[in-house]
Structure 1
Amino acid sequence: MAKLDIISVPDPLLKTNSTELGQVDNDLRRLMDDMLETMYDAPGIGLAAIQVGVPKRLLVMDTEGTEEEKKPLFLVNPEVIWESPEFNIYNEGCLSVPEHYAEVERPDSVKVRYLDYDGKQQETMFDGLAATCVQHEIDHLNGVVFIDYLSRLKRNMIIKKVAKATKSTTVL
């Protein structure tokens, strides 16, 4: 497995709509394993392929695992097929927007259809934090970053801060 580089705002790739995948094969499983290692190392609870520069409809997440026992999920071509009328507000962060957080309102529960690590179609209900996480990552696949839910002023301020911090940590 290999740790991948995570891209940050304002990288235009983050505004890309990711393309659907045909089937799950060994190359895709290798990418999923690398993404999972990258997510755990970051550390984070979710990571979309676009965040590592791959514009494919794929995400990994783990909102239930512990350091000793991880419980990763691999979602290929995920789509929300139902959402609850109740909403929750979470203070979200993002590996592509390091050290910035904001409250985002999303449906409290969602049902998602996807292909799993073995290429089998699944439908899973997500509630609470897992629902927030899966919606956040699916947003990435649609070219949406959580700061897009904020006012233009707040969003631009965060983008400038991240760009400045990224520039100052880049070693030539």
Structure 2
Amino acid sequence: MKKVSLLLVLFSVFAFSQKYTKSEISRITEGNIDSALPIFQTSDSLQHRVLLDQSMDANPKDQYTKILVNRMKLALLSTGSGVGIAAPQVGINRNIIWAKRFDKEGKPLEYFINPKILWRSEVLNLGPEGDLSIEVFRDYFYRSQVIQLEYFDLNGKKHTEIVEGFTAVILQHEIDHLSGILISDKIENQKMKTFEKVELYKELK
């Protein structure tokens, strides 16, 4: 029975993780694999198209996932001030992100493979956001103050945790990237909604 359960868990992890295409592998391994990948910009029409595409799950144990995760971190560090990055921002439409954990001692950078938000609080935070892929754009956005997050690590282990505050904001921003949602478009949708001030804010239905 335990073997059956284990097989079901493994199937749930990898069933929707399509293998990397030749073009993805070429992109992930181009140049020195121990260097940062360039960050895509909306000002370039071809790169913008990649940023608007829907991403797919990645196999956490695939050798190319490990390379991609590392090169994404280096890309984020190369910015000097970035607090998060998503795989589409380096040209790969896969569900992988990095975020700075302001909710942990030392504010470490952590990666999240196939992240999913299982629950969002109705209470919202209103704060400024920019984007590494959009030059000279910054505005204020409403984000859930608390989220429940599910994700995998490079060993294929699933994690679930509650995240709140600014770190939750970063994670929501980066997960939006995986669905091709950019803050430059999100702001237009937000303007059509109304919010009331409670403990923080709450969207009016």
Select which of 58, 66, 86 maps to 2:96: 58
The residue identity in structure 1 corresponding to 2:84 is G
SS at match of 2:77: helix
* Secondary structure in structure 1 of the residue aligned to 2:66: helix
Mapped to 2, the partners of 1:56 and 1:73 lie a distance apart of 17
On the 8 A contact 1:36/1:61 being kept in 2, the answer is: no
1:31 aligns with 2:64: no
When residues 62 and 117 of structure 1 are mapped into structure 2, their CA distance, relative to the original with a 3 A threshold, is farther
Partner of 1:7: 40
The one-letter amino acid paired with 1:150 is I
Structure 2 regions of 5+ residues with no counterpart? 1-33, 192-205
2:167 is aligned to: 130
Deviations 1:49-101 (A, max 9, x none): 00000011111111439xxx561211111000011110001100110013321
Give the aligned residue type for 2:151: Y
Letter in 1 for 2:37: L
Secondary structure at the aligned position of 2:154 is classed as: coil
Look up the equivalent residue of 1:88 and give its one-letter code.
N
> Within 5 A, what are the aligned runs for 1:6-155?
6-10=39-43, 11-43=48-80, 44-64=82-102, 71-151=108-188
Identity among equivalent positions (%) equals 27
Distance 1:26 1:70, change over 3 A: farther
Give, in whole Å, the separation in 1 of the partners of 2:133 and 2:151: 24
Moved >6 Å (runs of 4+): none
With normalisation by structure 1, the TM-score equals 0.81
Pick the structure with greater CA Rg: 2
Contact 2:151 2:158 in 1 (8 A): yes
What SS does the aligned partner of 1:150 have? helix
Distance 1:118 1:90 in 2: 34
Q: Displacement, 1:40?
A: 1.2
Contact residue 88 and residue 105 of structure 1 kept, 8 A: yes
Give the equivalent residue in structure 2 for 1:161. none
- Alpha-carbon distance in 2 for matches of 1:141, 1:50: 7
Task: Provide the residue aligned with 1:160 in structure 2.
Answer: none
> For each residue in 1:86-136, what CA deviation from the matched residue of structure 2 results, as whole angstroms up to 9, or x when unmatched?
000110011001332110101111011010233210012111110110000
Structure 1 window deviating more from structure 2 (46-55 vs 24-33): it is 24-33
- By relative contact order (CA 8 Å, sep 6+), the higher-ranking structure is 1
What SS does the aligned partner of 1:38 have?
helix
- The runs of 5 or more residues in structure 1 that have no matched partner are 155-172
Q: Aligned partner of 2:157: which letter?
A: K
